[in-house]
């Protein structure tokens, strides 16, 4: 049986640019790098950057990274100062900042977790919401 997320691979058209974005701006820890890729970590997440033609999602698909609430505003200010592209305005529970990486992959910085989202749904449920707990 599956037991969780193993790793996330994102295609990049410019490894130097993406490496700098994920390491210098988002704070990922570089583990190894080679001519066509890199392995980074962020907490327990293993992130692979792979040199391939990027074809980012054009729908709501995105990767969300967690951040402690007290660090949220400072990181958002730093990202805006760096000129990142914002692709969505937050309209759900918890603070969220939606940005694109240099290849156009949609990301989210979210100060919250599943439990805080579920708690908000108890007060304002989505249309057709069904609980399984």
Cβ-based neighbours of 100, under 8 Å, separated by 6 or more: 56, 84, 85, 86, 87, 106, 107
Respond yes or no: is residue 115 known to be catalytic: no
Q: Which residue has 């990202």 as its token pair? A: 79
Helix (H) / strand (E) containing 98: strand 95-100
Catalytic residue selected from 86, 108, 115, 127 = 108
Q: Which residues does the annotation mark as catalytic?
A: 108
């Amino acid at each position: 049986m599956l037991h969780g997320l193993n790793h996330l691979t994102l295609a990049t058209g410019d490894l130097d640019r993406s490496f700098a974005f994920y390491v210098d701006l988002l704070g990922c820890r570089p583990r190894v790098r080679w001519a066509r890729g890199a392995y980074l970590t962020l907490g327990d997440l293993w992130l692979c950057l792979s040199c391939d033609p990027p074809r980012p999602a054009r729908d709501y698909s995105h990767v969300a990274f967690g951040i402690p609430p007290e660090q949220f505003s400072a990181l958002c200010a730093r990202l805006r100062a760096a000129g990142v592209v914002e692709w969505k305005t937050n309209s759900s529970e918890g603070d969220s900042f939606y940005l694109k990486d240099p290849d156009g992959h949609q990301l989210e910085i979210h100060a919250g977790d599943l439990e805080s989202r579920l708690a908000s749904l108890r007060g304002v449920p989505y249309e057709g919401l069904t609980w399984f707990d």
